[in-house]
Amino acid sequence: MPYITLIAAPESAPLMIDPFGREISYLRVSVTDRCDFRCVYCMSEHMTFLPKRDVLSLEELDRLCSAFVRKGVTKLRLTGGEPLVRKDIMTLFHGLGRHLKTGALEELTLTTNGSLLDRYAEDLFAAGVRRINVSLDSLDPDKFKSITRWGNIDKVMRGIAAAKRAGLAIKINTVALNGINDDDFDRLIAWCGEQGFDLTLIETMPMGDIDGDRSADYLPLSDVRRDLDKRWHLEDIDYQTGGPARYVRVKETGARLGFITPMTHNFCESCNRVRITCTGKLYMCLGQTDSADLRAPLRASETDSDLDAAIDAAIARKPKGHDFIIDRTNRGPAVERHMSVTGG
């Protein structure tokens, strides 16, 4: 029977160790399922979002995140949907920033589409955020509009410029889409090099109904790497951010280029992360349906004993890996929930 082992951490609560000996130190939290874009690989154009009564309050999200910090999480990423569309979201960032000041939390960060960075970049830095991920799938305005459906690339570029001015380190995330943006990678590599940004390419994942056939868009990054090797000198490096990307250095620009390959080469053996939805569901694996309800124990008592017990029981069920597959015989999603619900 799976069990959770507690190992004493210096000057902190016991760490969370899953049944396969992996230390859980990274929490990703979806603060909202709503977004001002409708990216073709992420959402249906006509989404039905959660009723607001089902979504945790900012105070509840703070308490939930803080429980994980107390139990050994050192990296916390707020995601969505688009996290910056959540009303008063900076209250949560500033509240969680207290864990940076005590040293319990090493990093507080977010993944954003960049549309609201122009408004919030300086406030994010003031809250303790030092590094952000910005989703950007093309530098071509027409292609960007086609991929995001509702996005405005000029607004995103203003946001990225504001984040850079504010002192935030920026990593660009690009989902690789066959026949859509596969001719953009060279331009993105060169631009990121000029700007001083890291770039990560990501294989599309079979999550949620997107009103389309994912098998047509799926592009193995093993093929992309072979193609890029013809034009760029890519040097393997030993660099980790705590996430699943495997990095190389682009000799011509000096910048890092990451590859996230859940399909062609999964990263499950070193998985150190779990994810929470904006309704308080804890998913121990992005590619599995098993979840734990943390909203009920969170709301049942003002003390955290029931919440801690629910977290421990969930970590004890964390699986070895996911079961993602995309091919001509498996065109539907591997899991029904959309990426925006899970927290990326």
Residue spans of the domains in the chain: they are 5-342
Q: How many residues does the chain have?
A: 344
pLDDT digits (tens, 9 = 90+) for 36-66: 998 988 878 878 888 888 999 999 999 999 9
Predicted confidence at residue 49, as pLDDT, reads 85
Long-range contacts, 124-129 (Cβ 8 Å, 24+): 124/90, 124/93, 124/163, 124/166, 124/168, 125/166, 125/167, 125/168, 126/94, 127/90, 127/93, 127/94, 127/96, 127/97, 128/93, 128/97, 128/100, 128/101, 129/93, 129/168
As a whole number, mean pLDDT of residues 291-306 equals 95
The answer to whether the bond into 81 is cis (omega within 30° of 0) is yes
pLDDT digits (tens, 9 = 90+) for 217-253: 889 999 999 999 999 999 999 988 767 789 999 999 9
As a whole number, mean pLDDT of residues 250-274 equals 84
Q: Per DSSP, what are the bridge partners of residue 258?
A: 200, 247
For 5-342, CATH number? 3.20.20.70
Residue 139 one-letter amino acid: L
pLDDT digits (tens, 9 = 90+) for 67-119: 999 999 999 999 999 999 999 999 999 999 999 999 999 999 999 999 999 99
Across the beta sheet with 26-30, what order do the strands follow? 234-236, 246-250, 256-260, 198-203, 169-176, 131-135, 107-112, 75-79, 26-30, 273-276, 281-283, 291-293
Which residues, other chains included, contact 210 with Cβ-Cβ below 8 Å and sequence gap of 6+? 40, 41, 42, 43, 44, 333
Measure the CA–CA gap between 6 and 10, rounded to whole angstroms: 13
% of residues, the chain, pLDDT over 70: 84
Helix spans in the chain (H): 58-70, 89-102, 117-127, 141-148, 153-166, 185-195, 214-217, 221-228, 295-300, 305-315, 339-342
77 class by beta-carbon count within 10 Å (0-12 exposed, 13-18 middle, 19+ buried): buried
pLDDT digits (tens, 9 = 90+) for 151-183: 999 999 999 999 999 999 999 999 999 999 999
Query: What is the pTM assigned to this prediction?
Result: 0.85
